[in-house]
Structure 1
Amino acid sequence: MPKRFYRIWSAAAASALGDGIYFAALPLLALTYTHNPILLGALEACALLPWLCFGMIGGALVDRWDRRRTMAVADLCRFSLLLLVTVLVTAGAADIYLLFAAAFLLGIGQVFFDTASVAFLPEVLEDRDLAVLQRANARLQGTQQALGGFVGPPTGSLLFGLGRSVPILADALSFLASSLTIWTLPKTPPKPAKPRGSLLREAREGASYLFHHRLLMGLALRPAIGNFAFMAGNAVLVLFVKETLHLGTTAYGVYLTADAIGALIGASISSKAAAKVGTGTALTLTAGLETLSLLTIGLAPNAWVAGGGELALGVGIGVTMGLGPAVRQAIVPDELMGRVGATGRLIALGTGPLGAVFGGWLAHVYGLRTPFIVGGCILATMTAVVARLTNNARIEAALAEAAARRELEDAAAALETPAETVAA
């Protein structure tokens, strides 16, 4: 890996630690304001709504802007926002609606940061080889899960015991560290000047490219179905753990690490699994594993069984996150990377708010186990989708097509090189 990758890796590690702290602390903070499961589901939805509102426009802007600068500024803005929230919580001026606003604004920052980071990774690696991209994504995903899911949540629970605003401040500082680390990366060469149309037109170009590509549609639909099911359970997870599994605040933070440990394991074996059975087959197998895992959590008689389900669920998600983005990075043209990535994330995450509200309603009407059981049944449909749209044969054909396109582009660029440059 080039040296620049390790700076991106360090920035991701700092931000992931803060996110893990925030992930555990935000529901605990919300519980000090309300125990209404519908409001808790709405809070989860607010964090994902920006993808519905700004996702495609954000992708078009990322393809216009310098991706390194976009990432740094996005994290600097998120630092400033959480610093303000820390002050308001400390002063006793916060309520559940302030958390709604903060979650929404943080989500806007996530739109720009995540879209830019996925598009920027191939530039950092200077390589579109699928195996290299899979290893890089696996390292990033593994680090994010280790710190964001394993270290962060129990730390967040402990910090919350010191004061309601302490974990929020810790997350703010993580964004500051991430932003400063990204600023140390060398500046990327400016992009060639091209005629620009409207942002909406450019966004539609990225969407059209994805919608007409069956493999990319499959890679987007897989997490779309999954996120609807996952968010249905996540919306009421804090209530489920406390009232159904009868765990305390500290144990809640520890419970959250089961998913993270599984995701860390999944990320570490993702590239090996792809080499063994093929990327498409690995994606299909993990879809089935996630289905069984969510059903296990919903039907678990005790916290140990539920934790085992969370562990297996994390393995499936870890493998998926190590393989799926790498395929898209390997086959999408660089000039469309931001827009196609944002459209894919819009499809994938756009179902999350609906799932969160649906899960809150299910829990309110039918009980806290219901969102997990219904979510597991929904995930069963995902397995069939993945098996048809993202199989090995389709992935190999797309990689061959992308390699041929890049060869033609390189040949065309060589023909356009001025004669004096070639002589030099």
Structure 2
Amino acid sequence: MTEQRTDRVALPGAFHRIWAASAVSSLGDGVYYSALPLLALTLTRDSTVFGIMEAVTLLPWLLFGLIGGALVDRWDRRRTMVAVDLCRCALLVAAAVAVAAGLLDIAVLIAIGFLLGIGGVLFDTASTAYVPELLGRGTQDLHRANSRLQAAQRACGGFIGPPVGSLLFALGRTVPFVADAASFLFSSLTIRTLPATPRKAAKPKTLILKDAWAGASYLIHHRLLLGLSLRPAVGNFAFAGTGAVLALYAHETLHLGTAGYGVFLTTEAVGGLAGTLAAGWLGARLGTGGALTLTAGVEAAALLGIGGSPNAYLAGIGLAALGAAMGATMTLGPSVRQAIVPDELMGRVTAASRLTAMSAGPVGALFGGWLGHAAGLRAPFLTGAGILVLMTALAARLTSNRRIDAALAEAARTRQEPDPVATPTTTTETATTTETATEAATETATTAV
């Protein structure tokens, strides 16, 4: 628990520009994702089509995630974010023109969603890699920065954006798309004012697949990073399984109507915002490893509480607790990764981590839907709680304070800089294991690059 630091320094003004760009872009995303199904309803009533539209949101990460990470590590990250947002702006303007001209059909709408998803892969990976370039590798600063970014995304994209999108759609079918395009234009212009990063040294040209594999190999050989990726993968399996039956569970077991279900879902968003804001505080007092173990236990208890609740009020409390634990986890885990991954591999390791975390979701959804049909609607929640208990043990072992401190110290030595936040507190065996794994992964990555 040696990560705590007392010299609290204000985040630089450049970060506040990233923060503003993220908030406005998230607001536009909330508007778009609220208006998209409303527009689709004017084109089709086929539920299968809506299922395809939902699946398309995952395909860019599954098909393009590793390649996107390799490209981000080859390109200037600030320029990548600017170019991607300008392309997304142009794409949405074209969509608005097509809607106004009556030329938009469901196939084109799905294609637009897929292209926007590819843009999201590149932008999210580049922004995650750019933040430690701007702030340095101190975990406390990264906790604070990621907490604010996550809070802005949840508040603007989850609370404000969807109702605004519905309102704008009522004013005109093209209005939400123009508004989202304007948010991307604002984001690109704001990011363009950020400090330029040092030009990367030219490297021998290699196959893009080799570059992508270097990031995946580094992740696989680094036990801490692998643990930080397996944690959300296991969690997403359980969460997707419960999400598959949540609407039915709320309607048939908790006896919630349409309005009540909307309020029920809002409790998770409220909890998520609170957890995001509290993540840095938890990390400073318990250590990042201790905080991650705590949030894993809270997630397990929350699913158990939701699945065993006799009424909607207790289930809502459980859902809020689940959102809080998830919000804190999504802030703490990436901060550690940003602090220890070498800059030249940051985009690829980030993409490999996201791909690992997301890949279990579709399988979990299928399993949860089958289990709810076979054993009752409470079964996915109770089974998910059991899975998350195992995840708590995994977090305690693979992402402990001792292991995180050792990785931070090793990363600082590798960069030949003073260790900003931690001194090694591991046993000789643990430190040696971590160092050996890191050296092996670095050698593999260097050979591949």
TM-score normalised over the length of structure 2: 0.80
Letter in 2 for 1:74: V
The aligned residue for residue 267 of structure 1 is 276
Confirm or deny: 8 A CA contact 1:150 1:256 kept in the other structure: no
Q: Does 1:312 align with 2:321?
A: yes
Q: For 1:235-274, what aligned pairs fall within 5 Å after superposition?
A: 246-248=256-258, 254-274=263-283
The aligned residue for residue 19 of structure 1 is 29
Q: CA deviation at 1:391?
A: 0.8
The aligned residue for residue 69 of structure 2 is 59
Q: CA deviation at 1:76?
A: 2.1
Identity of aligned residues (%): 60
Post-superposition Cα deviations, 1:367-400, rounded to whole Å, max 9, x if no partner, equal 7666555544443332222122101111011111
Q: Give me the whole-angstrom Cα distance separating, in 1, the residues matched to 2:379 and 2:112.
A: 29
Post-superposition Cα deviations, 1:213-272, rounded to whole Å, max 9, x if no partner, equal 000001111111222333344456667667775443x66655443222212211111111
The aligned residue for residue 105 of structure 1 is 115
Q: CA deviation at 1:98?
A: 4.5
Q: 1:361 to 1:401 in 2, by over 3 A?
A: same
Q: Which residue of the other structure, out of 388, 399, 409, is the alignment partner of 2:397?
A: 388
Q: 1:362 to 1:49 in 2, by over 3 A?
A: farther
Q: CA deviation at 1:166?
A: 4.3
Q: Give me the whole-angstrom Cα distance separating, in 2, the residues matched to 1:100 and 1:232.
A: 25
Q: For 1:281-292, what aligned pairs fall within 5 Å after superposition?
A: 281-292=290-301
Q: Which residue of the other structure, out of 240, 252, 256, is the alignment partner of 1:231?
A: 240
Q: Does 1:175 align with 2:184?
A: yes
Q: Give me the whole-angstrom Cα distance separating, in 1, the residues matched to 2:231 and 2:418.
A: 31
Greater shift in the superposed pair: 319-328 or 223-232: 223-232
Q: Give me the whole-angstrom Cα distance separating, in 2, the residues matched to 1:162 and 1:238.
A: 29
Secondary structure class of the residue paired with 1:188: coil
Q: Which residue of the other structure, out of 317, 320, 326, is the alignment partner of 2:335?
A: 326
The aligned residue for residue 416 of structure 1 is none
The aligned residue for residue 422 of structure 1 is none
Greater shift in the superposed pair: 107-116 or 143-152: 143-152
Confirm or deny: 8 A CA contact 2:129 2:347 kept in the other structure: yes
Q: 1:300 to 1:382 in 2, by over 3 A?
A: same
Q: CA deviation at 1:179?
A: 1.8
List gaps (5 residues or longer) in structure 1: 411-424
Q: CA deviation at 1:195?
A: 2.2
Greater shift in the superposed pair: 258-267 or 214-223: 258-267
Q: 1:286 to 1:25 in 2, by over 3 A?
A: farther
Q: 1:353 to 1:39 in 2, by over 3 A?
A: farther
TM-score normalised over the length of structure 1: 0.84
Confirm or deny: 8 A CA contact 1:229 1:355 kept in the other structure: yes
The aligned residue for residue 440 of structure 2 is none
Q: CA deviation at 1:49?
A: 1.5
Confirm or deny: 8 A CA contact 2:412 2:418 kept in the other structure: no
Q: Which residue of the other structure, out of 412, 430, 448, is the alignment partner of 1:403?
A: 412
> RMSD of the TM alignment (CA)?
3.1
Q: For 1:19-418, what aligned pairs fall within 5 Å after superposition?
A: 19-27=29-37, 33-34=44-45, 36=47, 40-88=50-98, 97-125=107-135, 127-162=136-171, 166-234=175-243, 246-248=256-258, 254-300=263-309, 302-359=311-368, 372-407=381-416
Confirm or deny: 8 A CA contact 1:149 1:261 kept in the other structure: no
Q: CA deviation at 1:319?
A: 0.9
Alignment coverage as a number of residue pairs: 407
Q: Give me the whole-angstrom Cα distance separating, in 2, the residues matched to 1:281 and 1:85.
A: 47
The aligned residue for residue 17 of structure 2 is 7
Letter in 1 for 2:345: L
List gaps (5 residues or longer) in structure 2: 1-10, 420-449
Greater shift in the superposed pair: 298-307 or 317-326: 298-307
